[in-house]
Structure 1
Amino acid sequence: MLSTALVALDSTIVATAIPAIVRDLGGFQQFPWLFSVYLLAQAATVPVNGKLADLFGRKPVMYYGIAVFLAGSVLCALAWSMPVLIAARGLQGLGAGAVQPMGMTVIGDLYSLRERAKVQGYVASVWGMSSVVGPTLGGVFSQLLTWRLIFWVNVPLCLVAAWLLRRFEERVQRGHAPVRLDIAGSVLLTAATTLVVLGLLEGGNAWPWGGWQTPVLFGSAVVLLVGFVLVERRAAQPVLPLWVFGNRTVRVTSAISLLVGALIVGLSSYVPTLGQEVLGATAIVSGFALAAMTLGWPISAAVSGRLYLTVGFRATGLLGVSLALVGSLVLVLVDITGSLWHVALGCFLIGFGMGWVAAPSLVVAQSSVAWGERGVVTATNMFARSVGSAVGVAVFGAMVNAVVGDHPTRLALATGVHRVFAGVLAAVLVMALLELFMPDRVEPPTAG
């Protein structure tokens, strides 16, 4: 539970401090990298950690993640420039790549499908409280004290999490097969994703979109992805087994998770900036606007278990997407230079809808495989969300930077954020199509 709070808090606390960080360290066009590098590092290591967890158990991987996350948080708090802060955020991402999927995997290990309906409510409540506190703390620290406290607050949380983990008795058997880490696959996948994000964030800024750099970067990414597929087909213990893409349930849930990641980061990155730089609200008030999304999410997720056990996974997901669609239309259609409460309403509806989309899709993925494959499947789902977030923040950043340029004005920022809201609406529409392919019920395998 505390590991969930740790990741949830860090996911939202930075967003409301972005204007203060930019004023202190500079680099407005670079700030999307604070999210991208974190998410890239997380995405690159989630599959590896999932494989290690299936081989050696969840507890050692969780210890590693907490330690690395702690080190990254300290370096973030001490950062003296934007590049240093970006590098430190990458280290945080490496730790989060172990902490987040291990927490979700342990839940899948310890509880049955019906029990998870109740446990999911507890997890959602922890996520909800942390996510509401996160934007508020970020606003309070950056407005009244210093933005560096948003990273120092992680230190006691990491120490308490590590202490509590000592008392946890793992109920699963560790594997005894020889370990062959898929280093080549990890490097290829990370490099390909990095090139895509680099091209999206720097294209139109560091070089024109029509420049030679654009086809070189994206072409190289395609080549690396092809190489990744070839390596995975021959690897004894692939970092991302290709069989997961042959499982229709895993394919659909991973695609949904990818879109959820893009949607979250689009709102988290730009709602606080909209509130402070366009609407003239304080950092604290802007934090509450973003908290509206993270408040609605756990409320619906807390009851999602009972809902999908009653009406099925597909119906639950479609209900959630419908609410998110209404919220997206609120954001797109209202005058965003008007009231921040309209934006908060749209965020709340989207968050409420996502509670009936994200959690059930992960439960479906976990329940469709046996224990020995659950770590990889959970990691694949988390990996898809991380990639969606990393690429999403790059796409949204490119959309905003194309309008804003080097000298952001109130009108330019308003136009750029409106484009982000339109992108969120597009993501929700695609998500609605994917929900039609979700299974209504799932029968967990009896053998592990």
Structure 2
Amino acid sequence: MGEGKEFLTFRQRNSGITKRPYVLATVMLAMFMAAIEATIVATAMPAIVAELEDFSLYSWVFSSYLLMNAVTVLIYGKLSDIFGRKPVLTVGIVIFLIGSILCGLASSMEWLIFARFVQGFGAGAVMPIASTIVGDIYTKEERAKIQGYLSSVWGISAIMGPAIGGLLVEFVSWRFVFWINVPLGILAIIGLYLFLHEEIEKSKPKIDYVGAFLLTLFVTTFMFILVEGGVRWDWLSGPIVSLALLSLLSLVIFVFYERKVDDPMMPFELWRERSILIANLTSLTTGIILIGLSTFLPTFVQGVMEEKPIIAGLTLTTMSIGWPIAATISGKAILSIGFRTTSILGGVSLILGSIVFTILSGSDSPLLAAFGSFLIGIGMGLTTTAFIVSIQSTVSWNTRGVATATNMFMRNVGSTVGAALLGGILNSQLLAFYSSKGVEDEMNLDSTTMLLDDQQRNELTAQARSLLQEGLEIALNDVYWVVFGFAVLSFLFILFLPKKQKADV
């Protein structure tokens, strides 16, 4: 894409005044804030749902956050191409912190879900713009190395997140897993204004509000169908059919509208590049894998294996340790064996990791769960780093923000759909199990929350506890078979990546 001169001009203007090491540190701090949130919340969720109750809304805590994250990530990417990275990232962090404070004040699951909407609205700016800043101030060869540094944030947060989360849940309160974001966000904002200097030529903003609305409508209605279908409403009921029609209609209108509008929120011409198309489709499927692991593994380890929250958190830690290790290797491998071969190796690791979870049982050691988690982390590290470096090397500066955001948008959509889809499968399979055992009148979805609290679990009769654990284990195994299917699909997508990559523009 022939706008390299503008990119070079921007770099030349900023190379003398932007302090790259300090900017990198600031970007890593902002990413750490978002990364540690993921590991802490997943660890604390069993304690949260045990206090606030209503297990049927469990997946909505993740879906609400991911929905707003997915929808806003493209808008933030577009705005950063217009107004610059610093002001847009700052606004995102501020909104994220407001949402975090509200989450910590939640007195019901409904309140928590609303607060997660706010938090997700701000989080949409953090990851894509942080990665875009790195693409702005480093060359292609440097990016491969620096992306490894950025991915190391996940390893650090993985080690600290579950440990801190487990300690806060056991000795203080789960509310502090949200409030811990506040000092981190404030430091990140200070760092941005001290060290990142931009000279952006201001232009009249053209924001695709219609496209944003249509996309929000599509993702929201589709998520409702996946979460509530077969649980609150029958699959062929009036509400589900109506939502399905509305979802399909909004998607069709969105695609046609984006193709005709002058400055679309999702520029489809980017998708004409084969490497970008395959990277985005694979990010969609790996997003489902990622949320399937991070959302439901702690529930399996605590509810079925009867381990403590900190142990459940540590099984997730191995994923986030494997991720930065693989990302660092990926940064070097891209330059030697190419981004396609690197991605294929990542796809194989995703399949192997998902196989582990399909055979996991309550009698197994948490170490087996941790091993499967580590393999998933290796797969994510190899693929995501290769995708980001490839995409940022294919486009120019004035589209790098939206191009990076589009890839992360697809992963977020995958996670959003995955949280809803897998949550719906879990709920429907639990209900089917209770019905098959003839205990649907005595047990419901909220009964599962008793397994997630040591005191409540110990008060159950041996028969009731065994029945609840059997149902939860069967339902979660079904969830992980679906995850395995998406791992296979991810690998098949990767095989279609082009063997040669375009030169850096």
Which residue of structure 1 lines up, in the alignment, with residue 463 of structure 2? none
Q: Does 2:497 align with 1:438?
A: yes
Q: Aligned letter for 2:498?
A: P
Does structure 2 conserve the Cα–Cα contact (< 8 Å) formed by 1:336 and 1:343? Answer: no
CA deviation profile, 1:293-317 (whole Å, cap 9, x unmatched): 1111111111211111110111111
Give the alignment partner of residue 58 of structure 2, picking from 22, 31, 45.
Answer: 31
Greater Cα shift, 240-249 or 61-70: 240-249
CA deviation profile, 1:120-164 (whole Å, cap 9, x unmatched): 221121221012322222222222221101001001101111111
CA RMSD of aligned residues (A): 1.4
Q: CA deviation at 1:169?
A: 2.6
Q: Does 2:33 align with 1:6?
A: yes
Q: Does 2:476 align with 1:417?
A: yes
Task: Indicate the percent of aligned positions where both proteins have the same amino acid.
Answer: 41
* Residues 202-241 of structure 1 aligned to structure 2 (within 5 Å): 202-241=228-267
Q: CA deviation at 1:166?
A: 1.1
Which residue of structure 1 lines up, in the alignment, with residue 429 of structure 2? 403
Measure the CA separation in 1 of the matches of 2:99 and 2:133.
24
TM-score by length of 1: 0.96
Measure the CA separation in 2 of the matches of 1:42 and 1:64.
14
Which residue of structure 2 lines up, in the alignment, with residue 285 of structure 1? 311
Which residue of structure 1 lines up, in the alignment, with residue 403 of structure 2? 377
Q: CA deviation at 1:439?
A: 3.0
Measure the CA separation in 1 of the matches of 2:478 and 2:389.
33
CA deviation profile, 1:93-118 (whole Å, cap 9, x unmatched): 01110111110100111111111122
Greater Cα shift, 437-446 or 60-69: 437-446
How many residue pairs get matched?
445
SS in structure 1 opposite 2:300?
helix
Q: Aligned letter for 1:271?
A: L
Which residue of structure 2 lines up, in the alignment, with residue 99 of structure 1? 126
Which residue of structure 1 lines up, in the alignment, with residue 8 of structure 2? none
Which residue of structure 1 lines up, in the alignment, with residue 138 of structure 2? 111
SS in structure 2 opposite 1:356?
helix
TM-score by length of 2: 0.86
Does structure 1 conserve the Cα–Cα contact (< 8 Å) formed by 2:65 and 2:121? Answer: yes
Q: Aligned letter for 1:363?
A: V
Which residue of structure 1 lines up, in the alignment, with residue 204 of structure 2? 178
* Residues 207-356 of structure 1 aligned to structure 2 (within 5 Å): 207-356=233-382
Does structure 2 conserve the Cα–Cα contact (< 8 Å) formed by 1:313 and 1:439? Answer: no
Measure the CA separation in 1 of the matches of 2:217 and 2:164.
34
Does structure 2 conserve the Cα–Cα contact (< 8 Å) formed by 1:54 and 1:174? Answer: no
Does structure 1 conserve the Cα–Cα contact (< 8 Å) formed by 2:148 and 2:385? Answer: no
Does structure 2 conserve the Cα–Cα contact (< 8 Å) formed by 1:324 and 1:349? Answer: yes
Q: CA deviation at 1:175?
A: 4.0
Q: CA deviation at 1:335?
A: 3.0
Does structure 2 conserve the Cα–Cα contact (< 8 Å) formed by 1:57 and 1:175? Answer: no
Q: Aligned letter for 2:493?
A: L
Measure the CA separation in 1 of the matches of 2:34 and 2:310.
21
Measure the CA separation in 2 of the matches of 1:122 and 1:108.
13
Q: Aligned letter for 1:144?
A: F
Measure the CA separation in 2 of the matches of 1:168 and 1:347.
37
Measure the CA separation in 2 of the matches of 1:168 and 1:22.
41
Which residue of structure 1 lines up, in the alignment, with residue 86 of structure 2? 59
* Residues 29-178 of structure 1 aligned to structure 2 (within 5 Å): 29-171=56-198, 173-178=199-204
Question: Structure 1 pair 222/175, CA: closer, same or farther in 2 (3 Å)?
Answer: farther
CA deviation profile, 1:25-46 (whole Å, cap 9, x unmatched): 1111101111111111011111
SS in structure 2 opposite 1:281?
coil
Q: CA deviation at 1:336?
A: 4.4
Unaligned runs of 5+ in 1: none
Q: CA deviation at 1:322?
A: 1.4
SS in structure 2 opposite 1:237?
coil
Unaligned runs of 5+ in 2: 1-27, 432-444, 449-467
SS in structure 2 opposite 1:116?
helix
Q: Does 2:485 align with 1:426?
A: yes
Does structure 1 conserve the Cα–Cα contact (< 8 Å) formed by 2:158 and 2:316? Answer: no
SS in structure 1 opposite 2:195?
coil
Measure the CA separation in 2 of the matches of 1:183 and 1:317.
35
Give the alignment partner of residue 189 of structure 1, picking from 188, 204, 215.
Answer: 215
Question: Structure 1 pair 290/102, CA: closer, same or farther in 2 (3 Å)?
Answer: same
Q: CA deviation at 1:445?
A: 4.6
SS in structure 2 opposite 1:178?
coil
Measure the CA separation in 2 of the matches of 1:312 and 1:103.
24
Q: CA deviation at 1:84?
A: 0.6
Question: Structure 1 pair 437/257, CA: closer, same or farther in 2 (3 Å)?
Answer: same
Q: CA deviation at 1:349?
A: 1.1
Measure the CA separation in 2 of the matches of 1:336 and 1:358.
32
Give the alignment partner of residue 420 of structure 2, picking from 377, 394, 400.
Answer: 394
Q: Aligned letter for 1:247?
A: E
Greater Cα shift, 10-19 or 232-241: 232-241
Measure the CA separation in 2 of the matches of 1:365 and 1:71.
32
Measure the CA separation in 2 of the matches of 1:160 and 1:44.
26
Does structure 1 conserve the Cα–Cα contact (< 8 Å) formed by 2:350 and 2:376? Answer: yes
Does structure 1 conserve the Cα–Cα contact (< 8 Å) formed by 2:292 and 2:479? Answer: yes
Which residue of structure 1 lines up, in the alignment, with residue 11 of structure 2? none
Measure the CA separation in 2 of the matches of 1:444 and 1:168.
30
Measure the CA separation in 2 of the matches of 1:430 and 1:336.
28
Q: CA deviation at 1:290?
A: 1.1
Does structure 2 conserve the Cα–Cα contact (< 8 Å) formed by 1:337 and 1:414? Answer: no
Measure the CA separation in 1 of the matches of 2:374 and 2:311.
15
